[in-house]
Each structure stands twice: as structure tokens, then as C-alpha cells.
A and B are shown apart, each in its own frame.
Chain A
Amino acid sequence: MNMQTDNLKTTRPKRTATEIAIRYGFLALMVGLVIFFSVTTEGFASPYSAVFIFQSVAITGILALGVTATLVVDGFDLSIGSTATSALMLSAYVLVVLEMNAFVAVAACLVMGALVGLINGILIVKFRVPDLLATLGMMFLLIGLQRIPTQGRSIATGMTLPDGRVAEGTFSKAFLALGRHRFDFFIDNLIPVSVIVLLVVGLLVWVFMELTRHGRLMYAIGSNSRAASLAGTNVNRYKVLAYMISGVLASVGGILLAARLGRGDIASGNNLLLDSVAAALIGFAVLGAAKPNAFGTIIGALFIGILLQGLTMMNAPYYTQDFVKGAVLVVALVFTFALSKRGGAH
């Protein structure tokens, strides 16, 4: 048997053309798109345009990283969109109605996100509610809940409260900075906070999932939870953790959205759920991973951003956007499931 081990390095099979296509196809497509838009559209290849793309996908990207965490343990979180809008409304409520400072607003939102994730997790692992149904229920619950304190109205300074008082609080400068401050990067005032947050959160999730044993165990749970459990893993605890990560990241997205808008707008964030789920699923196709992964998720979000920005600059009408996203998602899913190793049986 020694021969076997000696030969390990040398006998690695060569990659076939299909395998290369699956692995790098999606990235190549993205590079191709960038080149295409740069050549055909004036102004696409500029730092401002790049930053704009990043900014446009930052919040969905952060939410998509949360979805990724739940997908890793073979779960699904439908409540992220409504968790984000709840965080948006909660931060506005804390700032404008309760007249507290930015720090309290951010802390309250993060705690709420963690709590939502905890409840989702408990519903799923303790009460055995299927993940889609539990988080669907939570979605409805949150959509309703966020409207109750203000009787269904948006929150802004000067609004009349149910008890007749006028809300005196304002979105503090510190809070608004989260949405509006831009860092210098070669060019003054270039990179918005949300983009930095996206990159940092993406890096953290990637490190956690790929480099730590907790991430490894979560992938094991996603592939075969029974085997993971019999190998001594506390499956329930990791599942709850995944939903808490998802809830917290969703509330981070909500905070950034509130800071950008500067008011508690009841109608915003409608597209958050679908966009972030799409980004996470497109991520399956990146580098032929065929599984949820942080790097792919961010690439997935960027891909949509690039495509929409390019098309917008080419004067494609705004109402075609959802169609384009849907088409990208379908193509990416074909990449993942039809062409990958799962398709070819031995």
C-alpha cells in the first residue's frame, strides 16, 4: 500500500475542459461583462462607477451572507428581508421617538436581530417546524410587528405620535454617517461605510466558514446532519447559531439602510429578500463550489450589480431589472446543478 501513498501527488487527475468551464466560467463571464461595458459604455470604467456598483449591492450582499450561513447548515431564512426592515424601523423609533443616541439604536437593532435568529432557530430545532415555514411565519410576524408602534406610518422627525405628542428626536449625525460618510481612497470621499462593512463582514464569514472548525462542522451538518451528530457535533446549537448570524447580519443591513435613508420608511426594503437569496444562490456557481460559500455570495451580489449598472448606463429601462436578475439566477443554477460533478454519475 506504500506505493499508493507515494504516488498521491503525481497521479492527480488532470482537469477536463468541462471542469475548467464549471470552475472559472462564471468568473470569466463577469470579467467579460466588465470588459464589454467598459468598451461600449462611456464612464463605466471609472472608480466612481465601481464604487457605485459596490454601494448598490452592499446591503443585499450583507443580507446574502446571512442567508449563506443558513444555507450552509441546510436551512433557509426567509425572514431576513423583514428582519432588516424591522431594524430600519426600530432604529428610527429609537432615534426619533425615544430620542436616544446612535449607539443605543445600533445596539438595539443588533440585539433584535440576534433575538429573531434565536427564535427562528428554536422554532426549527426544538419545535421541529420546517425551516421555510418557520421563517415564513417570522417574516409575516415582523412585517406586522414593525407597523404596530406607529400605526402603520413611516417615522420621521416632526411626526405626530398615536398619543398626540410630536416626535422631536432626529437621526443623529453619528448614525447618518453610517450611511453617508465616505472614506478617502486615493480619491477624496470615495468609499462609503456600507462597502467597507460588506467587505469586512464578507471576510469574517469567509474566515469563519472556511478556516475554523465551527464552519467545517456547519458544512458537515448541511451535508449529513445525522453523521455530524454521531461524530459528536451539537447539531442544534450550530443550527441556532446559523440563524442568529443571519438575524444579526440582516439587522446590520437594516441599520445601514436606515442611515442611508435618514427616516424610518415603511415601504423600503421590499426587494431585499429576493435579491439577497439570489446573490447567495448565484454564489453556488462561483469556482464550481456547488455549495453555499461567502466568496461566491459576494461575487454573486457584485455580478448582479455590474449587470444592472451596465444596463442602466446603456439606458435599459428600470423595470427590466427584476427580469435580468431572474435570468442570471436561472443560468447560475444551471451552472451549479446540471454541469457540476453532481450531474455526472459514476
Chain B
Amino acid sequence: MKNTAVELVGITKAFGENTVLRGIDLELHAGQVTVLMGANGAGKSTLVKVLCGVHPANAGTIKLYGEAFSPLTPSEAIRSGVVTVHQSINDGVIPDLDVASNLMLDHLAKPGSGFFLNKKKNYAEARKIAAAMALDVDVRQLVSELDLADRQLVAIARAMAHKPKLLILDEPTSSLSATEAKRLFVLLDRLRDSGVAILYISHRMSDIRRISDRIVSMRDGKISGVFEESPLDYEGAVRAMLGHSMTDANIQIQEPGTPIMQMKDIVLQEGATAFSLDLHANEVVAITGLVGSGKSGLANVLFGLSKPHSGEMTLKGAPYNPRSQGQAISAGVFLCPKDRATNAVVQDFDITKNITLPFLARHSLFSFLNFGSEHVTAQNTIADLGIICQSDTDEIGSLSGGNQQKVMVGRWLVEESDLLVLDEPFQGVDIKARRDIGEKIRKTATARATAVMVSEMDEALEIADRIIVMNDQTIVGDHRNENIDLRLVLTQVVGQLNNATGNDEHAN
């Protein structure tokens, strides 16, 4: 039985001349997870912002269980029962307070809740909330000491304290590992059973397969497809969102050229198993593994951000021991870091300045900048990667996530490198931008070695000639991306965890 929790009719929203939502009609049902898919710029974040009271709609009506609902502020939306958990986890929790205080925060902030803290009562109440949510943490622990998944669960538990009618989750798994995400899904299952309507925004196919009861695709500010018959038509949903099918990601596997980076007997951490790895020219290597498997550690070692515990590296035959990022770059090793907002985007700079940042010396004579040469480089990058913008002097913040990521990747493609390391280049990027970036990386890979750290298997299959699996700080699998045995790869990814749960199938 479908019980309509939220009904949107003809929602329109424009920012100046830019119409972002063009008449959205949508129903969300109680006790159901509706996944909202859409490329960047399709309007899904704007739709969420209309629902949670950040932006008012220009036209159209929203009904919440039959009652008109048009929140003017986020707190009004929360009071009416529409609660949103945003993508960045720390927006939902206060790291320096303990779990109990976080869970009780909204209660404490309520007027008339007493002047003095009653710690004992707080802890007891918080434990009750935690237990109701099957949250297995010590409520006296500081949130900053929790891992990301637990923080995310605390944020959701906090949201649940409002007894929401509609819970909106904006890419909740974007910084979680697969096992962490699993715990989140278990919680979402319970919430769904309790009758909450859930709107779940994600780019991750694996999440969508796991959690969705219904998929709504958005494209160009309109609903382009609603899929609710079981089994769900995932490919149809992707097609509705992109306007074309997913199958054109087929890649031509290249033969590896000469070895560029040779890593011998590398031990990442004390006690870890040594491994050796050669990265060749004309080869895109995807390095995959769970969070904590050592793939970030490997990226850091390659870029001189940390030193391996032991082992040797040679770059084109010469010993390579970079002591700083600057040295790595001048040796010809570039890193496009993960988490672009914290590690890559210079928010105060326009597109051009963001693109030319690492290689300003190329654009200057006696330290004086040549703005003309910067402009040319920026124009080329914009055209090459299909960055959608008004001009190369647009603020970087005015671009959608996918286009920002194109700028960040483009920044490192401007100069020729011997080894290009891309750490999670598809994080928070829509499928269209992901294809563009992947294609560009493959197209330019002829003369250099390329290593791409990815946690999503789809992404690895889409970009790599060779897939390397890491687990427990070492390499446990090495596959050519042709007729690949996905089950074997996945067993290697899971590795130890499999053993711990009593499964005696060994990875290798």
C-alpha cells in the first residue's frame, strides 16, 4: 500500500536567468527509499535545498501528508519533519563534544530544558536513542574519536530525534568504505520499516542496487524517469539520467610500454607485507581496495608525502626518493589528490588561476606572470575536458562538482608527467563528467605511467588496463582488465574480513 508522504507539483526554481528546476512533479512514499539520480547540474541539489528550506521555490506546491509545506528556513523544515543529512559529515555533528551531547544537542538547545546539565540523565537518554538506532558506540566518547561511519550514524541518529516524516540523505556514503556503508544500510532498512519516507541521493551504483525501492532520474531540471517496478531497471534509470546508455564505456586495453616507476620490496608500514610494483608507460593502472587497505598510503609514498618503511623506488631507472611535493613534481610525478574541496580547490581563485597553480613558473618570466599564456592554457583545458562554464574567469565555486573536478584533473594534464597518480578522481562526480575525465586520462596516457586509486569497482573497470587490489597495506591481486574474474577480485578486496567471518576461502 502506498502512503504518499510528500507530494511536489510543478516546482520551479530559477537563479537569475538560469532556470534550474523546470516543473518538478514528484511523490515520495512513506516506508520507501527513493533514490534520486542525476548528473551534476541536473538540479538534484537545488531540489533538495527547496525541500529542506534553503531556497524557496519560485512556483509550485509541496504537500507533506496533505498539508501545504513551504519552509522558509532549514529549521522550519526540520520542525515540520523534513530532515536532511548533508554530504559532509561534520556538518551534522560537533566533533569536540561527546556522542551523548551530540545526540541530545537539539534537546539541550530547546528553550526550557533547564540551566544545568544533568550528565547522568543525558547519558541515559543518549543511550536510549543510540540503542533505538542500533548504534554501538560508547556515548561518552568524543565524536572526533569515532570513525567516519560512526560519525555519519550519529548524525543520522541526531536527525532521527526529530521524528522525521521525510529523511533526505545527500550522498551519505561518499566518504565511507564498503563495510562502513553496510552498517548505514542496515540502519536505513530499519528506518524504512518504521515508515519514514527516505530520499537518497547517490552516484554509487552499488549503493543504489542495495538500498533503492524506487529510482527517480533527473535531467535538465526535469524528472526524466521514474522506475518502481521490481526488478528495478538500473540501466534504464542511468539512461534516463544521461540521455544515452551506459554501454559506451567500453575501452581498448593497451599493451604496457617500458617500465617507468619501479617499486621494489616496498613495506608501507612496520609489520606489513612487502610488495613490488612496476608501472609502465601507456598503461592505466587502477589500484583498488577498501579504506585503510593502503592505497592512499601508496599514493602518498609515490608523491613524497610520506616515506615507505623500507624498500626502493626508481623512476626511469634513477633512484627516486622525493622529500617534498615540490621535488616529486619536478621529478615528473604528479598527484591529483582526493577530496578536492580540502586538498585541491582554491576557492578564492577563478578557473584560470586554479588550472595554472602548479606550474606558474611556466607562465612567468623573472617571476612576472604572463596572463596571456595563462589564459591560453586555461582555454585549452576548458575545451579539452569540456568544462561547462561561462568563461575562464568564472569563480571556481560557481561550477558544478563534476566540472570542478575536471579543472582539478586538467591542472595536472597541462604538463607532461612521467607518472600521474590520481587519488579518487571520481569522488562526488556525476557519470557524464566521470566518463569525460576517464576518457581524457586514457587518451593522454601514452607516454606516461598512470595510477588511479578508486574504491568503486565500476570505476576501475571503466578506466584501467590493469587492476591492482590492495588489502592490509600490501598488494593482493593483479589483473589485466580483460575477461576479468570479478568474483576473484572482490574476494581479494574483502580479504581478511572474509576470514574473520569464518569464511575459509583464501584470497591467494
Interface residue ranges, A against B (CB under 8 Å) = 1-2, 4-5, 8-9, 11-13, 211-214, 216-217, 219-220, 222-224, 226-234, 291, 341, 345-346
Contact = CB atoms under 8 A, between A and B. Distances in A.
B348 A226 contact: no
Interface string B341-357: 01111111100010001
Contact of A234 (B326, B357, B398): B326
B345 A227 contact: yes
Nearest to A13: B390
Contact of B360 (A213, A224, A230, A234): A213
A220 B326 contact: no
Closest 5 CB pairs of A and B: A223-B348, A213-B360, A231-B358, A1-B386, A232-B329
B15 A217 contact: no
Given A2-B383, A214-B367, A8 B390 contact: yes
Contacts of B87: none
A54 to B, nearest CB: 28
Interface size class of B (residues with CB under 8 A): 35 or more
A224 B386 contact: no
B19 interface: no
Given A8-B392, A224-B342, A234-B326, 10 more contacts: A2-B383, A5-B383, A213-B361, A213-B367, A216-B369, A223-B346, A224-B345, A227-B343, A231-B329, A232-B326
Given A211-B369, A230-B325, A12 B390 contact: yes
Interface in B319-368: 324-326, 328-330, 335, 337, 342-349, 353, 357-358, 360-361, 363-364, 367-368
B369 A291 contact: no
B346 A227 contact: yes
B391 A220 contact: no
A13 B342 CA distance: 29
Given A8-B391, A9-B391, A212-B368, A217 B344 contact: no
B357 A231 contact: yes
A229 B327 CA distance: 12
B369 A346 contact: no
Contacts of A9: 391
B447 interface: no
Interface of B: 15-16, 54, 324-326, 328-330, 335, 337, 342-349, 353, 357-358, 360-361, 363-364, 367-369, 379, 382-383, 386-392, 395, 397-398, 411
A13 B15 CA distance: 13
A226 B392 CA distance: 23
Nearest to B371: A211
Contacts of A232: 325-326, 328-330, 358
Contacts of B392: 8
Nearest to B339: A226
B482 to A, nearest CB: 31
Contacts of B337: 230
Contacts of B348: 219, 222-223, 291
B383 A224 contact: no
A212 B387 CA distance: 27
A346 B383 CA distance: 25
Contacts of B342: 224, 226-227
Contact of A4 (B343, B368, B386, B398): B386
Contact of A5 (B358, B382, B411): B382
B364 A224 contact: no
A262 B2 CA distance: 88
Contacts of B411: 231
A345 B45 CA distance: 13
Q: From A4, A211, A231, name the one whose CB has the most chain B CB atoms within 10 angstroms.
A: A231
Contact of B347 (A214, A223, A233): A223
B383 to A, nearest CB: 5
B401 to A, nearest CB: 12
Nearest to A210: B369
Contacts of B395: 341
20 contacts: A1-B386, A4-B386, A8-B379, A9-B391, A11-B390, A12-B391, A13-B390, A213-B360, A213-B361, A213-B367, A217-B357, A220-B346, A223-B348, A224-B342, A227-B342, A227-B357, A228-B357, A231-B411, A232-B328, A346-B397
B17 to A, nearest CB: 8
